[in-house]
Amino acid sequence: MMERLLHKNLKYLSSKRYRDGHVWEVESLCTEAACRRCGLVSSTRHGRLTHLVREEGLRDQPLWLRIHKHRYFCKSCRRPFAEQSPGCELKSKTTTRFKKSVLKLCATAKSISKVKDLLRVSSGFVFKTHYDYLRKEQNKFKNKRWPGSIGVDEHFFTRRKGYREFATVFVNLGNHKLFEICKGRSVKEVLASVSHIPGREEVKVVCIDFSSSYRRLVEELFPNAEIVADRFHAQRLVTGALIKERASVSGARKDLHTRRLLLKNSKDLDYNDRFKIKHYLEKHPKLKELYEAKEALARVYRNRGFKRAYLSLINTYNKYKDSQYKELRTLAKTLWKWSQQIINWFRFKVTNGITEAINGQAKRLQSRGCGYKSFENYRLALLNDCGY
């Protein structure tokens, strides 16, 4: 059993009680070691020493190893040095297996304090072990290149000195993974963070919401990419105005069911529900216009073919560009300004659904961690959670 629990270069000698657990006396079986300064392997021994390290516990009891090892003399440097403890990293007071148990608990525990209490170690050790591991994992992908299709969006990060700070995410729409995250959402901040990543010319499609700053960012960062306006954001361009107008209209309790149906797609309703909506909207002309605009946008995306969709979009613009209601005139301007990006959906069929899902994962991560002070630590945690 001892051979399975211990490193292959360690030999078990004895055991005794230590603190709240046990300490095992073990001996190193190595007969030579490499000098840390010059790398020359030496077998000339120069005394003995012991090294106390923490090992993964047994039956919920902490375990330490007191390793009896040798010092060696380097003939090249003319100086003695201590051999590295088997199963441990250089100058480490814990074994590699114990660190792996810490990482396993960090992946499932709610907080660092829970891991600290379970393993009876300091919170600083847990924190350093966890983020050192995340940093090593991140370094494996330091030569990554931009994928062919990308989704771009932002989410709230923190509030500092009365100002809200945001994070911009880049999602690989090909494998549904987070590709990169950077602090800020302005063109200048984002370009400074991600312009060093190679392969910008290979990006063909970028999906964004109706943000002018992100459109400028994509034009500068990805010169060969086609921009696609997210279908979900396009179909809800008028939904906010519809909800606001619906809230301002007072009515009887019997109309509540009909009012809720206004946000649903008419093609998903039966004849009776559509008749109720038509009868209800006859009393409220502005609400009727907003509802018809919402349905017109839905019909644009129900078209089959690029040309039919373009004609439907132009007809919707012509219908509402001279409307008596400000909300519909704003809608028409937006449709004209983003017409090419809206129609690009029929060519590439990509949406930001995966990007919104990763934003949801980011919010859950922030909630689980009770917020993050360091953006670098937040970036490492999120990339580990849903990246690559």
Verify that 245 and 343 share a domain, yes or no. yes
When pLDDT is cut at 50, 70 and 90, the band that residue 1 belongs to is low
214 has a pLDDT exceeding 70: yes
Tell me what percent of the residues of the chain surpass a pLDDT of 90. 63
> Are 314 and 333 within one domain?
yes
Query: How many structural domains comprise the chain?
Result: 4
Range of the domain at 155: 149-230+352-386
C-alpha pair distances (Å), 259 with each of 107, 281, 283, 327: 45, 10, 13, 20
Q: Are residues 54 and 115 in the same domain?
A: no
Token pair belonging to 118: 């379970």
**Same-domain pairing of 271 and 361:** no
At 247-290, the pLDDT tens digits run 888 777 777 888 888 989 888 899 999 999 999 899 899 999 99
Residues 213 and 251 in one domain: no
Identify whether residues 341 and 241 lie together within a single domain.
yes
Distance of alpha carbon 384 from alpha carbon 381, whole angstroms? 5
Tell me which of 197-206, 209-218, 247-256 is least confident.
247-256
* pLDDT digits 0-9 by tens, 353-385: 999 999 999 999 888 778 888 899 999 989 988
Among the three residues 105, 140, 175, which one is the final residue of a domain in this structure?
A: 140
Q: Give the torsion sign (CA, 187, 188, 193, 194).
A: positive
Judge if 324 and 342 occupy the same domain. Answer: yes
Which pLDDT band holds residue 53 (cuts at 50, 70, 90)?
very high
Residue 32 shares a structural domain with residue 67:
yes
Asked if residue 253 and residue 201 are part of one domain, the reply reads: no
Q: What phi and psi, each to the nearest 5 degrees, are found at residue 21?
A: -140, -135
For 149, 288, 355, the CA distances from 177, given in Å and listed in that order, are 12, 41, 9
Say if residue 361 is in the same domain as residue 226: yes
Asked if 386 and 176 touch (Cβ cutoff 8 Å), the reply is no
Please choose, from the candidates 288, 293, 285, the residue with its C-alpha nearest in 3D space to the C-alpha of residue 313.
293
Which CATH number is 168's domain given? 3.30.420.10
* Alpha-helical runs (H) found in the chain: 2-5, 96-108, 112-119, 123-139, 187-194, 212-221, 231-235, 239-248, 256-261, 271-281, 285-301, 306-320, 326-337, 339-343, 345-348, 353-368, 375-386
- Asked if 265 and 360 sit in the same domain, the reply is no
Residues 61 and 196 reside in one and the same domain: no
